Amino acid sequence: MSGLTNDSARRIQAALAARGAPFAVIELPTSARTAAEAAAALGCTIAQIAKSIVFRSADDDSPVLVVASGVNRIDERRVESLIARPIAKADAAYVRARTGFAIGGIPPLGHAVALPTLIDRDLLAHAEIWAAAGTPHAVFRLDPHSLVALTGGTLADIA
């Protein structure tokens, strides 16, 4: 953790350590703000990027996190069906207030408040995946089953 320069990246490394996870956050010299940028920087497929998207419940304004394979487009109607509530897009201010992180670096864990989490079942097709670590320049590698365990998320077909 001592080699990390960004406070948000250090927070995610600390969150991983607190959960006993052996995964290491790394900072990249280039942006990994999008799944395509992350895959190019890491030399992996876009499908191996676990992108974290925050939605807000339209009925009570509570956050919902969806962690999807980088190649998949999230089917918002399917998400609504899975959580039994309507959802709406979350703007940057909402996302930062609920997670503590800016869009483009949203990690799957370590948020300011607990987020109900849906995890794209398609991520299970990969032995290793990469997730954002609090900043567009920080990521960590893990396996999809660890992602489910670390987040307490629910596996679902969301694409």
Fold type of domain 7-156 = YbaK protein (3.90.960)
Cα 25 from Cα 131, distance rounded (Å): 9
Which residues, in sequence order, are CB contacts of 135 under 8 Å at separation 6+?
6, 8, 9, 27, 101, 102, 105
| Residue 13 and residue 1 in contact, taking contact as beta carbons nearer than 8 Å | yes
The number of C-alpha atoms within 13 Å of 82 and in the hemisphere containing its C-beta is 21
Domains of the chain by residue range: 7-156
Instruction: For the chain, 159 residues long, give each residue's pLDDT as a single digit of tens.
Output: 458 999 999 999 999 999 999 999 999 999 999 999 999 999 999 999 999 999 999 999 999 999 999 999 999 999 999 999 999 999 999 999 999 999 999 999 999 988 999 999 999 999 999 999 999 999 999 999 999 999 999 999 999
- Whether the full predicted model's pTM is greater than 0.75, yes or no, is yes
| Residue 58 and residue 88 in contact, taking contact as beta carbons nearer than 8 Å | yes
